[in-house]
Chains A and B, each alone.
Chain A
Amino acid sequence: MKKLINDPQNVVAEALLGIEAAHPDLNVDHQHKIIYRADAPRRGKVGIISGGGSGHEPLHGGFVGLGMLDAACAGEVFTSPVPDQMLAATKLVDGGAGVLHVVKNYTGDVMNFEMAAELAAAESGAQVVSVVTDDDVAVQDSTWTAGRRGVGVTVLLEKIAGAAAEQGRSLEQVAEVARQVNANGRSMGLALTSCTVPAAGKPTFELGEDEMELGVGIHGEPGRQRVPMATAREIAEMLVEPVLADLPFTNGDKVIAFVNGLGGTPLLELYVMYNEVNRILTGHGVQVARSLVGSYITSLDMAGTSVTLLKVDDETLSLWDAPVKTPALRWGI
């Protein structure tokens, strides 16, 4: 294992120190491992918090700031944060208009956020609504599993719901915007290599030089199948076609197209991928209204990519275009 770390046990704590030092607009509660806006709570504004295991950066801490999240809770690497953290974050950002919890659909995350919401209601009377993302089409048989995983749509949802909250909309309105984003978005990912969890010190799974894991999860969970290495053009087909078929996206739909890197893939390759994705979408008559290309929801050092498509209307696009000022997304300011 070759990593820029001091001690595998201290990776999360030391990264939080770095985030605090690098971003004066953000505060860090080191005891609870919370990154939050320095100006929180904003009176009358719906607070939005998210959180999850570390290792997916910039998700979620890199999306804290104006127009996006008010706070993010960092768990251990690939381990959900505990209810105390979300409870503390909820109290930090509650400006009287209630708090939205954005939760990725993993068993641990869902349960820990649920307990936090119960504790928040009991202790502070804060109004909490939770929205769970579950956009990963690689999980096919969701009746007999823990359900689809929350992946790329989470990034788009945090931006769009964040803009709605910034406009002063009510908790129920912001939650409805968030639900619509989840309902209209689909994703699928592919790994070229495994990731290595610092505390484990060795790759999570073995993948041959000539193999790829199609439909991989962001913690290295296995996907639909292991397939032979292919070109970017073929890979784009393998990812985009199942995503298109699932919603389904059809001729004339407008979308935000998000080509994401999983942590170990260069931007150069992501743009090669984006070109292929764009070509396929054009072929289906799907109109790309906005794009996002880069590594925004990662799996440590995993090489690979995911494609997320979100069907949008003009209202959603105006929320997407609204100003945002966070470490990882910044425009319109």
Chain B
Amino acid sequence: MDDMVSTAGLNQWIRAFAELVAENKDSLTDLDAAIGDGDHGANMHRGLQAAVAALDDTKPATASTLLNKVGMTVVSTVGGASGPLFGTMFLRMGAALGDTAEVSLTQLATALRAGLGGVVARGKAEPGDKTMYDALAPAVDALESAASTGVDKADALKLALAAAENGRDATTPMLARKGRASYLGERSVGHQDPGATTVALLMAAAIRAPL
């Protein structure tokens, strides 16, 4: 039973994500200022504060209603490219989970896989484009493989975080091929991608919550 994730746990996850983004708002903005337009931290912060407020208002009782509410709020309040990308990720996760009060680690991994699919459908990102995909895809792989081999929840989430952080770090030498950073060409090399950084915070939030 310990490996189940309750709706309350998912609620805590989103709140911890909002906290981590708030704590790292300025550094996210600095990363974005170097290769984008410098609003990633402020935009994500605004959207996640709104998502937390929406959770307070509506107190969703199932995994799908909770993640749908978060996704819709993020889409409606973040703007830029991050709103549709992170919003679509949460919406697809919600759609994958259905009306259940708790989900297994395997179901959570499946939901994140669906979220990743949403990010790809929306943003057309490919591996190595220097985007959030480069942190999210390895995290999903790690969580799936941990869930299928019976690793317990806490360790599985640690493996997912480590994979996301490795993926985030790997974006630094990449040449950006998507988004505003792509206009910089070679000048984008040597900078860590802000979207991938935020994905690593999402995985860190699962441990802080704890899920």
Physical interaction between A and B: yes
**A→B interface (CB under 8 Å):** 75-76, 78-84, 106-108, 111-112, 114-115, 139, 141, 144-146, 149, 197, 199-200, 204, 217, 219-222
If A107-B123, A111-B123 touch, whether A83 touches B76 (CB-CB below 8 Å) is yes
On whether the beta carbons of A222 and B187 are closer than 8 Å, the reply is: yes
Q: How far in angstroms is the closest Cβ of chain B from A165?
A: 27
> Which residues of the partner chain B approach A141 to less than 8 Å between Cβ atoms?
185
CB <8 Å contact, B84 and A112: yes
A78–B122 Cα distance when bound, in Å, is: 21
Which residues of the partner chain B approach A139 to less than 8 Å between Cβ atoms?
183
Contact A111 B79 (CB under 8 A): no
B134 at the interface (CB under 8 A from A): no
Q: Which 7 A-B pairs have the closest CB atoms?
A: A145-B182, A111-B84, A108-B81, A108-B80, A107-B81, A79-B79, A107-B179
The minimal Cβ–Cβ distance linking A38 to chain B, given in whole angstroms, is 26
Cβ of B185 and Cβ of A108 under 8 Å apart?
A: no
User: Do A107 and B178 touch (CB < 8 A)?
Assistant: yes
- Distance from A113 Cβ to chain B, minimum over Cβ atoms (Å): 10
Q: Which of B39, B78, B85, B179 contacts A82 (CB 8 A)?
A: B78
Cβ contact within 8 Å between A222 and B180: no
Interchain Cβ contacts under 8 Å between A and B, 26 examples: A76-B39, A79-B43, A82-B75, A82-B76, A82-B78, A82-B79, A106-B180, A108-B79, A108-B80, A108-B81, A108-B84, A111-B81, A111-B83, A111-B123, A112-B79, A114-B122, A115-B84, A144-B175, A145-B182, A146-B183, A149-B183, A200-B38, A204-B38, A221-B183, A222-B184, A222-B187
* Distance between Cα atoms of A68 and B189 in the complex (Å): 42
Contact of A75 with B81 at beta-carbon distance under 8 Å, contacts A107-B123, A139-B183, A146-B182 already known: no
* Chain A residues within 8 Å of B177, by CB: 144-145
Structural contact, B183 and A145, CB atoms closer than 8 A: yes
Question: Interface extent on B, as a size class?
Answer: 20 to 34
Q: Which residues of B contact A149 (CB under 8 A)?
A: 183
Closest-CB distance, A44 to chain B (whole angstroms): 31
Contact A83 B84, CB 8 Å, known A78-B37, A107-B179: yes
Residues of chain B contacted by A200 (CB below 8 angstroms)? 38
In chain B, residues 73-114, which have Cβ atoms closer than 8 Å to a Cβ of chain A?
75-85, 87-88
How long is the Cα–Cα vector from A220 to B39 in the complex, in angstroms? 14
Contacts of B78 in A (CB 8 A): 82
Taking the nearest CB of chain A, how far is it from the CB of B134, in angstroms?
16
Interface string of B46-80 (1 = CB under 8 A from A): 00000000000000000000000000000111111
How near does chain A come to B114, taking the closest CB pair, in angstroms? 17
Tell whether A75 pairs with B37 under 8 Å between CB atoms, given A111-B123, A144-B177.
no
- Minimum CB–CB distance for A82 against chain B, Å: 5
Query: B88 — which chain A residues lie within 8 A by C-beta?
Result: 115
Residue of B nearest to A142 (CB): B182
Say yes or no: A114 contacts B84, CB within 8 Å: yes
**B40 to nearest A CB, angstroms?**
10
User: Which chain A positions have C-beta within 8 A of B123?
Assistant: 107, 111
Which of A106, A217, A220 has the most B CB atoms < 10 Å from its CB? A106
Is B79 a contact of A80 with CB atoms below 8 Å? yes
Q: Which A-chain residue is minimally distant from B184 (CB atoms)?
A: A222
B30–chain A nearest beta-carbon distance, Å:
12
The reply to whether B83 and A78 form a contact with Cβ atoms under 8 Å apart is no
8 A Cβ contacts from B4-51 to A: 37-39, 42-43
In this complex, the member of A112, A114, A217 whose beta carbon has the largest number of chain B beta carbons within 10 angstroms is A112
Chain B neighbourhood of A197, CB < 8 A: 38
Q: How far is the CA of A80 from the CA of B87 in the complex (A)?
A: 15
Q: How far is the CA of A278 from the CA of B184 in the complex (A)?
A: 32
